[in-house]
Chains A and B, each alone.
Chain A
Amino acid sequence: MRDKQHIGLKQASPGMTLAQDLLDIEGHCLITTGTLLTENKLACLQRRGIRNLVVWGAEALSPQEIATRRSAAQTQLNRRFRQVEQEPTMQELKAMLLAYRLEGLE
Chain B
Amino acid sequence: MPILNLNNLDQKIHQLPSLSVVVTRLLELLGREDLTMASLMSMVGDDQALAARILQIANSPFYGFSRHIGSLQDAGTLLGIHTLGNIITAAGIMNHFPPNDDDSFDRLSFWQHAIGVGTCARVLARHGGLDVEIAFTAGLLHDMGKLVLASYFATDFAAVLAWRDAHDCLLRDAEQAVLGLDHTILGARVARHWRLPEPVANAIEYHHNLPEVTMPLSELVHVADILARGLEIGHGGDDLIPVLQARALQHLGLDWQTIRACLGEIEALNAAAGVLLNPGKKQK
* A residues whose Cβ falls under 8 Å from a Cβ of B: 6, 8, 10, 20-21, 23-27, 46-54, 76-77, 79-84, 87, 89-90, 92-94, 96-97, 99-100
Cβ-defined contact, A51 with B241, below 8 A: no
- Interface size class, chain B: 35 or more
How many A-B residue contacts, CB cutoff 8 Å?
Answer: 80
Cβ-defined contact, A52 with B268, below 8 A: yes
* B residues whose Cβ falls under 8 Å from a Cβ of A: 61-67, 126-127, 168, 226, 229-232, 239-246, 249, 256, 259-260, 263-265, 267-269, 271-272, 283-284
Cβ-defined contact, A97 with B230, below 8 A: yes
Residues of A within 8 A of B256 (CB): 92-93, 96
Q: CA–CA, A53 to B61, complex, Å?
A: 12
Q: What is the interface of chain A mostly: helix, strand, loop, or mixed?
A: mixed
Known: A10-B284, A80-B241, A96-B260. A52 touches B271 (CB 8 A): yes
Cβ-defined contact, B231 with A97, below 8 A: yes
A51 nearest CB across to chain B (Å): 5
Cβ-defined contact, B243 with A49, below 8 A: no
Residues of B within 8 A of A80 (CB): 229-230, 232, 239-241
Cβ-defined contact, A84 with B66, below 8 A: no
Residues of A within 8 A of B259 (CB): 96
Cβ-defined contact, B232 with A76, below 8 A: yes
| Cross-chain contact of B65 among A8, A49, A100 (Cβ < 8 A) | A49
